[in-house]
Structure 1
Amino acid sequence: MPDGAEATQREPTEQEIRLVIAASSAGTIFEWYDFFIYGTLAGLIGAAFFPSDNETLEILLVWAGFAVGFGFRPLGAILFGFLGDRLGRKYTFLVTVTLMGIATAGVGLIPSAASIGLAAPLIVLGLRILQGLALGGEYGGAAIYVAEHAPPEKRGFYTSFIQASVVGGFVLSIIVVIACRALIPAEDFAAWGWRIPFLLSIALLGISLWMRLKLSESPVFKAMKEAGETSANPFKESLTYPGNPKRIFVALFGITGVLTTIWYTAFFSGLSFLRGPMRVEESLVEWMLLIAGAISMSFYVVVGRWSDRVGRKKPIIIGALASLALLFPVFWGIGSLANPGLEASARAAPVTVSGAQCEYDPFAEIQASPCGRALQDLTALGVPYAIGDGATAELAIGQDSYSYEGLPDTTRRAIIQAWLEGNGYDFARQTPPFASVIGIIALLLVLGMLSALTYGSVAALLTEMFPAKIRYSSMSIPYHIGAGYLGGFLPLIAGYIVAMTGNAYAGLWYTMVVVGFGLIVAWWGLPDGPPRDFADGGQDPAASPATS
């Protein structure tokens, strides 16, 4: 903190801090609810706005729309980071939450592609861009606002509520979907009821604005403004301030790259894995994610508080190492509990596809060859497969072989499904026994803990890494580049890898690569020891790459 700002800063009261945490956390929950409701309702959004005969393409287009919003987060970080460092923390994140609420409600008002054609997905993408811009300004504002009110010895604890609120937004989206499914018949929910969770954003926006308007400006920013020490060009200074390029590199790959890929693997990959290849009944999946998500929110607070004693580096390193060791075993465990019959069938009757031009393009509306169309059907059914060397159009299931040559497009998938069912495959929606459900929730909680270890202390860490006058811009830019591209594109990239390989677990390799590289950067770039503010020579990898 600059000397002039430090001299005039008043210590906030406990009551003021509680209001700051409550209002910032509630706003973060609502804003992430707006963003996550899109992913929670991915299947219905695909049918409404991205209809395709290729089911895999349909869901990939939904995840592409999801990624578009994330892709614009860095631009939002630059724009609102500039405003936050120039005009203040409070009013900047009032603007971001308003923009998010309006854009989300707009998705619920768009006519389907069946009504207005190509205009429907284009409008959806436009609103996703607005959401991405808003989210690019939200996290930095809320995190800094709480951090700049918190006493240094409790900064990790207080800011951990912001991290837990991100999960809270995901949990709230599931609660609303479950409630709507319970109140609206299934056919009506699929036809129009899915729009209600989007329209609810207007009410959540009103509550969030009411709470945040009660807040005063950050004491750090007010002190800087009174001392005339705000930055004239925060974006430019973020890139030129001594040591900042190195700090931004560490924040991007060593912090954000790790936390964001683990987070989306834990929650979104867990959701799509259970709904998709494991074929678990959808409402049961939502309940399991709801329970696991709600419990895991407390993990973020525990880790944040722990980081106030042991430093910010240790939890991140432990979480990254544990993720590399546990991701595959945890998902294998979830798969064996969720749908043991699929795994048994795949072992007893493995599927091999042979034929000319045996290639599958998940982004093609119509595959180029009969073999490609057979692979498309197997992918849509969630069946693992291998590609054989022969040129004969043949589908081998265990000891039996079938010719898919000449199968009509209208009945081909049903015929292939019947072949598979005749060899022991079961495509009914699964409802695992109670003991298996408890086991799945326990494994989801393991994923939640891995996320908490790498995420719970991050708001405090990023605040401590950068000087106050360019803090909003400096922490938002690497955070949203990492979260926007490394994390936001994870569902799309992982889904593509699964579709190309026929292996439901193959998408985890993307997470493993990003976390592995991030672990090296974090180990090298983050300082050991107790946390210290930037003004005290704190979390500064430019000053000391390994120790402080």
Structure 2
Amino acid sequence: MATTTANGTLAPSTIWKVIAASSAGTLIEWYDFYIFGSLATIISAQFFPKGHETAALLGTLATFATGFIVRPFGALVFGRVGDVVGRKYAFMVTLLIMGLATTAIGLLPNFEQIGFLAPVLLLVLRLLQGLALGGEYGGAATYVAEHSPDGKRGYYTSFIQTTATLGLFVSLGVILVTRLNMADASFKDWGWRIPFLLSVVLVIVSYMIRRKMSESPVFMKMKEEGKASKRPLHDSFMHPQNRRLVILALLGATAGQGVVWYTGQFYALYYLQTVLKVDFVLANQIIAVALLLGTPFFVVFGALSDKIGRKPIMMAGCLIAALSYYPIYQGMEFYSDWSAANPTAAGINPNVAMLTFLVWIQVMFVTMVYGPIAAFLVELFPVQIRYTSMSLPYHIGNGVFGGLVPFIGTALVASTGNHFAGLAYPISIAVMTFIIGTIYIKENRNVQWHGPTKT
């Protein structure tokens, strides 16, 4: 049994075990979720009719987006489970669902084999991925936060925040290693399945690690005192004060955070590949290096938020990103060697160092908005409804507002012919979040937790 302090948090000697176990499972779930996006251009050729490449890519991106859109429903289902049954049980179930769905994608017949049933089944499996992830993040973030001492929640939960970017980095790494060890034609034909099939091994390992974890001491104390909510969904969204907090968390924090995150990581990848015509392997290498260099700053900004607050860092990230996207993407076009006069020669001689630097800047915006947000969300809601209440705005902000960035951006570029048209959407959402968050969000970093309630 882990050693705990008087207020129910883990002793410093054991909290790192909680962080490691929580982060390992969450990283694997993000890995599973992101493989699909990282391979979107190849999946589009496998599961949609040939001859309409743009329509196929948009169809794949739409399927990719459904995984994000369904995440709020997963947040509701597993959020309730986490608040009633327990944090640990909820994210054990989500891990298994995610692993099975991801492995099944790797075994799915393509369009040539089963026709339109292929994209339908792909969509179903993507929906299962989204449901699972909708329940995973809130559980892991809440679990770590409820073990963390007052004054260090930003620092300790920031390690959970690194798992999303590390999951994307690992997915890119596995894809690149697989691709570089076989011919291009073989990878596009069947090799792309290997990263999906590897998921089953990772999930088994993570499941064995999580089985040994104890339930959150804050949650257990609340249950022992008989203060648990019997209707967390009702208490979260029908009670006026809690409902107002959920809306503010969405529009004043997670919506902007979501679009900044997916612009800097996913839209940048699609932009390099589909607009600037940078080679598939090179584009993935650029993103992977930028992510690797940027990841430590999740912890930097998480720790800084314990000192100066979550709100100023997140709002600054939204504003700076909104003001910087146009010049950054103009620079990406310039350094990619793209030319409107000769588009067939695009991406042949790109300046890799400068492209990596420009993507890294976008990742830095991501670390500013994302590093402190787990601590911000768990501090916003009481423990009785915390899992449910924080999960919904997080997954609407990231799953809907953020998840639609690649699809809306690619569609706007395709429909207008303007390379920069896709940036209008994330810029407008980031500005909205900056205004609402600055005016209405309250800073809660100094809140003290005593057992199951906040003072």
Of residues 510, 513, 518, the one that matches 2:428 is: 513
- Report the 3-state secondary structure (helix = DSSP H, G, I; strand = E; otherwise coil) of the residue aligned with 1:149: coil
Alignment pair present for 1:330 and 2:340: no
Partner of 1:315: 313
1:465–1:529 CA distance, 2 compared to 1 (3 A): closer
Of residues 282, 286, 290, the one that matches 2:284 is: 286
- Report the 3-state secondary structure (helix = DSSP H, G, I; strand = E; otherwise coil) of the residue aligned with 2:410: helix
The question of whether the paired residues in 2 share the 8 Å contact of 1:103 and 1:130 is answered with yes
Partner of 2:259: 261
| Letter paired with 1:237 | D
Distance 1:43 1:293 in 2: 20
* 1:68 Cα deviation from its structure 2 partner: 1.1
Identity over the aligned pairs, expressed in percent? 42
| Letter paired with 1:508 | L
Distance 1:426 1:490 in 2: 24
Residues 98-247 of structure 1 correspond to what in structure 2 (within 5 A)? 98-241=96-239, 243-247=241-245
* 1:253 Cα deviation from its structure 2 partner: 1.1
Which residues of structure 1 form unaligned runs of 5+? 1-5, 347-423, 541-548
- Report the 3-state secondary structure (helix = DSSP H, G, I; strand = E; otherwise coil) of the residue aligned with 1:280: coil
| Letter paired with 1:85 | D
The question of whether the paired residues in 2 share the 8 Å contact of 1:527 and 1:539 is answered with no
> When the two structures are superposed, what TM-score results if normalisation uses the length of structure 1?
0.80
| Letter paired with 1:438 | A
Q: RMSD between aligned alpha carbons?
A: 1.9
1:208–1:532 CA distance, 2 compared to 1 (3 A): same
Alignment pair present for 1:13 and 2:21: no
Which residues of structure 2 form unaligned runs of 5+? none
* 1:535 Cα deviation from its structure 2 partner: 7.0
Of residues 378, 381, 385, the one that matches 1:466 is: 381
Larger Rg belongs to: 1
> When the two structures are superposed, what TM-score results if normalisation uses the length of structure 2?
0.96
Residues 498-509 of structure 1 correspond to what in structure 2 (within 5 A)? 498-509=413-424
The question of whether the paired residues in 2 share the 8 Å contact of 1:465 and 1:534 is answered with no
Distance 1:87 1:9 in 2: 22
* 1:149 Cα deviation from its structure 2 partner: 0.5
| Letter paired with 2:152 | K
The question of whether the paired residues in 2 share the 8 Å contact of 1:94 and 1:212 is answered with yes
| Letter paired with 1:109 | L
Of residues 361, 382, 394, the one that matches 1:446 is: 361
- Report the 3-state secondary structure (helix = DSSP H, G, I; strand = E; otherwise coil) of the residue aligned with 1:243: helix
Distance 1:290 1:457 in 2: 22
- Report the 3-state secondary structure (helix = DSSP H, G, I; strand = E; otherwise coil) of the residue aligned with 1:11: coil
* CA deviation profile, 1:190-223 (whole Å, cap 9, x unmatched): 1100000000110110121122112110111111
Distance 1:535 1:461 in 2: 18
Distance 1:519 1:269 in 2: 21
Distance 1:70 1:532 in 2: 31
* 1:133 Cα deviation from its structure 2 partner: 0.5
Distance 1:61 1:484 in 2: 17
* 1:134 Cα deviation from its structure 2 partner: 0.3
Distance 2:409 2:141 in 1: 29
The question of whether the paired residues in 2 share the 8 Å contact of 1:49 and 1:121 is answered with yes
Which structure shows the higher helix fraction? 2
* CA deviation profile, 1:427-462 (whole Å, cap 9, x unmatched): 1462435xx211111111110111111111000000
Alignment pair present for 1:492 and 2:437: no
- Report the 3-state secondary structure (helix = DSSP H, G, I; strand = E; otherwise coil) of the residue aligned with 1:276: helix
| Letter paired with 1:86 | V
Alignment pair present for 1:271 and 2:249: no
Count of residue pairs brought into register by the alignment: 451
Partner of 1:432: 349
| Letter paired with 1:499 | A
1:152–1:431 CA distance, 2 compared to 1 (3 A): farther
Distance 1:533 1:495 in 2: 45
